[in-house]
Copies of this chain bind each other. A is one copy, B any other.
Amino acid sequence: MFVLSIVIAYSCNNAEGSASEQREKYVLVVHGGAGTITRQNMTPEREAQYRSGLEAALLAGYQIIQDGGDALDAVEAAVRILEDDSLFNAGKGAVFTNDGRNELDASIMYGKNRMAGSVAGVTIIKNPITAARAVMEKSEHVMLAGRGAELFAMAQNIDTVPPSYFRTEPRWRGLQRSLRNDSLRMQNQTAVITPDPDRKFGTVGCVARDKNGNLAAGTSTGGMNNKKYGRIGDAPIIGAGTFADNNTVAVSCTGWGEFYIRNVVAYDVSALMEYKNMPLSDAASAVIKKVGDAGGNGGLIALDKNGNMAMPFNTEGMYRGAITESGKMEIYFYKD
Contacts and interface: CB of A to CB of B under 8 A. Distances in A.
A230 B257 CA distance: 21
Contacts of A149: 229-230
A124 interface: no
A173 interface: no
Nearest to A268: B271
A257 B143 CA distance: 10
Interface in A195-235: 228-233
A78 B144 CA distance: 29
A146 interface: yes
B262 A116 contact: yes
Contact of A262 (B121, B142, B147, B240): B142
Contact of A146 (B230, B268, B275): B230
**Interface bracket on A:** 35 or more
Contacts of A3: 3, 6
A220 B143 CA distance: 17
B148 A120 contact: no
Q: How many copies does the complex hold?
A: 2
A121 to B, nearest CB: 6
A303 interface: no
A140 interface: yes
A272 interface: yes
A231 B141 contact: yes
Interface string A12-41: 000000000000000000000000000000
A330 interface: no
Contacts of A139: 229
Interface in A87-141: 109, 114-116, 120-121, 139-141
Contacts of A258: 140-142
Contacts of A294: 114
A59 interface: no
Nearest to A236: B232
A199 to B, nearest CB: 11
A68 to B, nearest CB: 27
